[in-house]
Structure 1
């Protein structure tokens, strides 16, 4: 069994868990529990959504690399655009709410989105730099 191809997903899992723990700790100290209870999506749900989408993206990029290394960049752009569209659909209820807690929830959503996007970009760069 080739465990090397799952190294990126394991790294994503570890970094995602670290990011979640830091985020949860920051919420514990700076965001009132009342606000957290009123969020449209829980922090856990957002991290799970972005983790699974990022893992899917990495697996697809690995498959594309096997077939044609020249298509990896285009596939990354296509899947990232798809992810942004789905994330916008997730974000619409948050944008529609106009409550005290809404700015915190928006900022939290975008932090998670950018954090996972940065990890996906790093993995894609690693794949493209290891051309053979």
Structure 2
């Protein structure tokens, strides 16, 4: 029983790491906006929404990678590339209303979106590299 719990924790520890990295990044993001006195009231998407969406996509992608790893370790890298492509497509669909926006804060909102997107892409890449370095 103890060994099963340890094995379960070991497999899903990256989800906790992803969560804590996301929370830390969110706090730093919020603090930066407060220090720079950036008004986010006119943003199309809130920072919280972006973090939740990208966290959900990242967690889902990692879960899929774990499943692929169990089935066929050889295609984990390809699954990651496909998942990243899908994430970029979803990111573009989320970004479209911001691109079409005529508000004054649109530049700050675009930068905000891309920083969040790239941050989660970095987290996913680091977790995937760790997954690929494990022995099958």
Provide TM-score, normalisation by structure 2.
Answer: 0.92
CA RMSD of aligned residues (A): 0.9
> Aligned runs of 1:29-108 on 2, under 5 Å?
29-33=35-39, 36-108=40-112
Q: Between Structure 1 and Structure 2, how many residues are aligned? A: 130
Provide TM-score, normalisation by structure 1.
Answer: 0.95
Q: Please identify runs of 4+ aligned residues in structure 1 that moved more than 2 A.
A: none
Q: Secondary structure at the match of 1:38?
A: coil
**Which of 14, 17, 42 is the equivalent residue of 2:20?**
14
The residue number in structure 2 matching 1:128 is 132
Distance 1:116 1:93, change over 3 A: same
